[in-house]
């Protein structure tokens, strides 16, 4: 049976990602990482939803894996649907705001993560050509504009 018009095929459906925004004294937590082409780019601690984990579990895990910091989500900043101009499928990014603890120095960071950065908005904008995607700056700008939604917005109906 052919899907109705406008229904994306499984190959074209957006991949679900999560991102963490943590602020301290006007500076935001970022990672400098290698993208698929090997270039150094700047991103929030972010990654893909895995298995049957919840969105909240995913952002906590990704932040810990990429920065060594425990992230405590407090709100949703936004949902962002984006397609890379060279990709066949896009991304649905759920961006969280919260607090990050101090990094665990004994924890090894994910492969591809070069270092953890704390940048203010102006410093981030100065690196615009090195952002992993436009979603990085959009999330910060929405956060600074006061965009916050309750975590209760997210419903997880996952069965084991």
The whole-number mean pLDDT for each consecutive block of 10 residues of the chain, a chain of 160 residues, reads 49 87 98 93 96 95 97 98 80 97 94 96 97 96 98 80
Where exactly are the structural domains of the chain? 15-153
Q: What is the DSSP letter of 27?
A: E
pLDDT of residue 18: 98
Whole-Å CA distances, 115 to 24, 76, 91, 160: 17, 25, 24, 35
**Torsion-angle region of residue 112: left (phi > 0), alpha (psi -120 to 50) or beta?**
left
Which parts of 61-149 are beta strand (E)?
A: 71-83, 90-100, 113-119
Looking at the domain 15-153, which fold is it?
Nucleoside Triphosphate Pyrophosphohydrolase (3.90.79)
What confidence tens digit (pLDDT) does each residue in 112-154 have?
999 999 999 999 999 999 999 999 999 999 999 999 999 999 9
pLDDT of residue 5: 46
**pTM for this structure?**
0.89
Asked if residues 144 and 61 have their Cβ atoms less than 8 Å apart, the reply is no
Q: What is the mean pLDDT of the chain?
A: 91
Alpha-carbon span 129 to 66, nearest angstrom: 21
Torsion of CA 18, 153, 24, 38, to 10 degrees: 10
């Amino acid at each position: 049976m052919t899907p109705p018009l406008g229904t994306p095929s499984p190959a074209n459906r957006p991949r679900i990602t999560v991102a963490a925004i943590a602020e301290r004294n006007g500076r935001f937590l970022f990672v400098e990482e290698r993208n698929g082409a090997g270039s150094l780019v700047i991103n929030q601690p972010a990654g893909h939803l895995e298995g049957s984990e919840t969105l909240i579990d995913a952002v906590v895990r990704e932040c810990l894996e990429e920065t060594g910091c425990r992230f405590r989500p407090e709100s949703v900043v936004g949902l962002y649907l984006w397609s890379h101009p060279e990709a066949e499928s896009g991304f649905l990014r759920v961006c969280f705001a919260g607090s990050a603890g101090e990094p665990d120095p004994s924890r090894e960071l994910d492969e591809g993560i070069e270092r953890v950065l704390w940048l203010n908005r102006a410093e981030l904008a100065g690196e615009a050509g090195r952002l992993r995607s436009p979603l990085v700056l959009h999330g910060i700008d929405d956060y600074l504009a006061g965009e916050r939604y309750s975590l209760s917005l997210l419903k997880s109906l996952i069965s084991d």
